[in-house]
Amino acid sequence: MNGADALIETLIDNEVTACFANPGTSEMQFVSALDRQPKMRPVLCLFEGVATGAADGYGRIAGKPACTLLHLGPGYGNGLANLHNARRAFTPIVNVIGDHATYHRQYDAPLASDIAAIAGANSVWVKSAESPDDVGALAAEAVGASYGPPGGSASLILPADCAWSPASARGPKAVRRPKATVAGDTVDAAARMIRAAVKPVILLGTTACGEAALAAAGRIAATGVRVITDGFIARLPRGAGRFAPDRMQYFAEAALADLAGVDLMVMVESRPPVAFFAYPDRPSLLVPEGCETFALAAREEDGVAALAALAHALGAPAAPHVQALSLPGAAPTGALTPASAGLSIARHLPEGAIVSDDSVTSGGGAASATRTGRPHDWLGLTGGAIGQGIPVAVGAAVAAAGRKVVSLNGDGAAMYTAQGIWTLAREQLDVTVVIFANHSYRILGIELGRTGAGNPGPAASSLLSLSEPAINWVSYAKGLGVPGVRCETAEAFDTAFARSMAEPGPKLIEAVVP
């Protein structure tokens, strides 16, 4: 057994069974060790941003970490943006970052860089093995650290000699730190404050949006208390039979209008809400003036149990407030728009589907129309770094065989990590990629004015436009081995989307929208 074997065996012992990889020379021992441990599923990604986003999607669905295999500092850098998103999703991930042999580091070879510094900003844990006998123990530590609470990516730097040299033993079982229990007094205080408030709201953070949390929140909502979630949720169970909380509005003024009159905000694994960006003369903090905030549970605490206790303290009914199935009636007709596409998506999205959303301005139609659709999970863009939609879909599909995955993407966002389309073909994953082709960074056209920059002239316009040339997504996807279809009418999209829901395997739909 060498260090690479010790690593993989320890990961397997700790139920880490998927590896999203883009290896290089320094990772060859890890790659070779995969042949000796068939329980680890290797998935090749042609760019590290796909690998890290896939690990994020996998972790959101599986509730346990996948590992990534990355090539030194530049490899981690290529995967950094989607690890930023994973940090904001609190997704457990174990990054294995190959490095030069320990004795080779001193020479500052071309690929050398300060990996720990690069990885630090988005990792909950960073350590490097210094000997092959470290590797097993560190792997277990990394798995434990990735679970948090509240969870995140743990980065294990693996020098090449620590991988290729003999190792004495695999590592132990990972130690998982439990979430701290919220004191009964805190729950009682929240209940008292809610009873005393004129217009209380409960704000659910991304880690307090699972099935159990929504069930408890839905019971509280049945007493008349409004429940909202943070703006971007890692995994939100939605659709018929579930409680549907509202969502924090994206723009500051809309958020504050929505919260007008609120005098109490009870936060569950969240923090006082803030604007996604600052704008001149607009507030950053989205808490109405005079509104008290109260932390029922921090992110390290068990907000779900606290919500259930709060429901009890408020004398909430046993059954949560849930919504009935309500699907759009007839197929939409005429012009294809984000709204009409959303109706088609709601009509045909099957029960148990997973939606990976990176559609920025174009996804609102689908989000709205599917709210009362068949039960599904919605994976949001937690960190705001576009280029998540296809990679997260890759990982979700690996984690959830048998469930249909739909990846909704703005065209600008999709271009970041569209290499993931190849992995869909390689693994024959059951993913339908929708590209909303409006040929622009539409959100930036909106934001330009909001930041006080006025109307774009020719130079600015050129930087917001994806036309000249327009991307031919069908040709692009064909190049990567996935069949595609371009839709320019609502009817065509409805037919194409229905067909892709009925047939297994990867598909791409280019939805030409205004």
Residues 26-65 that bind a second copy (CB under 8 A): 26, 28-29, 31-32, 34-35, 38, 40, 42, 44, 46-47, 49
Pick one of 86, 307, 480, 487: the residue that binds a second copy (CB under 8 A). Answer: 480
> Does an H or E element contain 221, and which?
helix 211-221
**By the rule CB under 8 A, 218 interacts with a second copy:** no
Asked if 436 is part of the footprint of a second copy (rule: CB under 8 A), the reply reads no
Q: Is the peptide bond before 283 cis (omega within 30 degrees of 0)?
A: no
The distance of closest approach from Cβ of residue 429 to a second copy in the complex, given in angstroms and rounded to an integer, is: 13
CB of 172 to a second copy, least distance (A): 25
Q: Does 108 bind a second copy (CB under 8 A)?
A: yes
Beta-carbon contacts of 430 under 8 Å, excluding residues fewer than 6 positions away, are 397, 401, 403, 404, 405, 504, 505, 506
The identity of residue 297, as a single letter, is A
Task: Among 339, 384, 489, 492, indicate the residue that binds a second copy (CB under 8 A).
Answer: 384
Closest C-alpha among 84, 209, 205, 57 to residue 153? 84
Positions 364 through 383 that interact with a second copy (CB under 8 A): 382-383
Residue 155 interacting with a second copy (CB under 8 A): no
**Rule CB under 8 A: is residue 198 a binding residue for a second copy?**
no
Instruction: Pick one of 412, 430, 432, 487: the residue that binds a second copy (CB under 8 A).
Output: 412
Counting contacts by CB under 8 A, is residue 443 touching a second copy? yes
- 183 Cβ contact list (under 8 Å, min separation 6): none
**Binding flag, residue 205, a second copy (CB under 8 A):** no
Confirm or reject binding of residue 404 to a second copy (CB under 8 A): no
* Least Å from the CB of residue 390 to a second copy: 13
Residue 249, SS3 per DSSP: coil
- Nearer to a second copy by Cβ, of 24 and 172: the residue is 24
Give 197's DSSP letter.
Answer: -
| x-marked contacts with a second copy along 452-471 as a string, rule CB under 8 A | xxx-xxxxx-xxxxx-xxxx
Which residue has tokens 């070779």?
A: 32
Torsions phi, psi for 297 (to 5 deg) = -150, 135
Which strand (E) or helix (H) includes residue 23?
A: none
Q: Residue 9 Cβ, how far from a second copy at the closest point, in Å?
A: 15
Mask: binding to a second copy, 228-257, rule CB under 8 A, as x and -? Answer: ---xx-------------------------
Residue 472 found at the interface with a second copy (CB under 8 A):
yes
The tokens describing 409, both together, are 């993407």
Task: Give the footprint of a second copy on residues 277-316 (CB under 8 A).
Answer: 277-278, 280, 284-285
State yes or no: residue 12 binds a second copy (CB under 8 A): no
465 with 489: CB under 8 angstroms? Answer: no
Residues ≥6 apart with Cβ < 8 Å to 268: 202, 203, 204, 205, 208, 213, 217, 296, 297, 303, 306, 307
